[in-house]
Amino acid sequence: MTDYELIIRNGVVVLPHTVRTTDIAVKDGRIVKIGDQLTGKAEKELDAKGMYIFPGLIDVHVHFSEPGREHWEGFETGARMLASGGCTTYFDMPLNGIPSTVNQEAFRQKAEIGERKSVVDFALWGGLVPGNLYELRGLSECGAIAFKAFLSDSGNEEFERADDLTLLNGMKEIASLGKILALHAESAPITNWLQKEKKDKGLAHANDYLETRPVFAEAEAVERAITYARMTGCPLHFVHISSEAAIQKIEAAKLDGLNITVETCPHYLLFSHQDLIEKGSIAKCAPPLREPREQQKLVSLLTEGKFDMIASDHSPCPFSLKDGAVYDLFQAWGGISGGQFTLMAMIELALEHEIPFTKIANWTAEAPANRFKLPSKGMIKEGMDADFAIVSLEKFTVNEANFHAKHKESIYIGHTFPCRIHTTISNGVIVFEDGRFPANLNRKGTLLRPETGVSV
């Protein structure tokens, strides 16, 4: 007779307000006891001596493309890739599947696929697009974690950007539902006008691409969205913010009492426009990687606590949509493939800039869980889900063999992190350990919904 399913011993545990060496006991997928030299029998024991135990990463921004574009990245390969990076919960964005997640039928179809194929828990965003205002309530009732809209072209014709009337009406409805609207904040009039000017002149290199998506296009879109939030009372979440100018506007709105959160992504903190020049289309994303000076500003803003959370914006595609576009970047798919590396990237920054690991845990787990109302997630605490990322401070160089995405092309190939993910545990189940997925891994992830954090 055993007392627990799992005991993790001797790990350096990143708790909400401190870091200390202790043991963790798990039963029925929950943390039931945290303490030194725990007694009792367990079905399995892990010795984590010398390693750090973080709460499992909650990545609120990934793009899997199933149904319809599973050959880009689907729930099976995508969830395993995230798990190998210490992620135990992710939120799939609504735009890259066919159909996009803009009505109840599409939501239910995607949810069913996810629950069959995902090895870790997940939630689904609903989309706000022109013409689907009447679908928002149904999406909310289905369990959409929140809503997403674009202020610039999304790159997929199935998911149109929101014009101003769609945005205002949608924000009013979303506020009435008690939900959050996430925004890709770049001004379409500015970016489209600048891109046309470049194309008319036959200019399509790295510098040209950067110049069509300037900082002021992001700042203008942020300011406009904040104005509409004042009018409608809609809570906002700004995704992948890439500039100091945008953060200044968001900070001012927060100080004025608006309900706003903001994320950035590891690639904006680790890489710069120079990587687009040198590596070509694998480094193309929107907003673009910024000049090194702006990149360093973002790192400073991070250390000052100006970002609420970190998300990967994992946006893969077949290399055929990137390859051959080195000299015409406007034709290449714009997305960084790198969801596996979020936690390792943040630990790298923490070690370099003396950021406490408790802050890393907050940005990557606790803050996302709190913002999106997943009360059993986000912290290592008795009663919470047993979601852990066990990290060894050993160097890890990314290569095609240890990168677990469907397609192996990434800006991260060749990058060396000062740490590696040794073990990932989701609801008490080991889903990744020492570079491998368990041979008998059959865990099925649960679709989560806000407020309860339990299955729809």
Within 10 angstroms of residue 38's Cβ, the number of other Cβ atoms is 19
Within 10 angstroms of residue 259's Cβ, the number of other Cβ atoms is 15
Average pLDDT in the 355-362 region?
A: 98
What letter represents residue 330's amino acid? F
User: Domains in the chain, start-ordered, CATH in brackets?
Assistant: 4-53+382-433 (2.30.40.10), 56-371 (3.20.20.140)
* pLDDT > 70: percent of the chain: 98
Which tokens go with 267?
Answer: 């690639």
Report the alpha-carbon distance of residue 249 to residue 219 in Å, rounded.
7
pTM greater than the 0.75 cutoff: yes
β-bridge mates for residue 426, sequence order: 429
3 state SS of 448: strand
Report the alpha-carbon distance of residue 108 to residue 185 in Å, rounded.
28
Report the alpha-carbon distance of residue 83 to residue 81 in Å, rounded.
5
For residue 159, the model assigns a pLDDT of 92
Q: How many residues does the chain have?
A: 456
Report the alpha-carbon distance of residue 84 to residue 178 in Å, rounded.
34
pLDDT band at 325 (very low <50, low <70, confident <90, very high): low
For residue 58, the model assigns a pLDDT of 98
β-bridge mates for residue 58, sequence order: 89
Read off the pLDDT of residues 362-379 as tens digits, 9 standing for 90 and up: 999 999 999 999 999 999
Read off the pLDDT of residues 383-412 as tens digits, 9 standing for 90 and up: 999 999 999 999 999 999 999 999 999 999
Report the alpha-carbon distance of residue 186 to residue 286 in Å, rounded.
9
In terms of Cα–Cα distance, which of 319, 308, 342, 311 is closest to 412? 342
How does 118-141 read in b/e, with b if 16+ C-beta sit within 10 Å? bbbbbbbbbbbbeebbebbeebbe
Q: Are strands 416-417 and 396-397 parallel, antiparallel or unpaired?
A: antiparallel
Distances (CA, A) of 288 to 217, 249, 345: 11, 19, 19
In terms of Cα–Cα distance, which of 278, 274, 418 is closest to 341? 418
Does the structure show a pLDDT above 70 at 326?
no
E-strand spans in 284-407? 309-310, 388-392, 396-397
Read off the pLDDT of residues 178-197 as tens digits, 9 standing for 90 and up: 999 999 999 999 999 999 99
Report the alpha-carbon distance of residue 428 to residue 237 in Å, rounded.
30
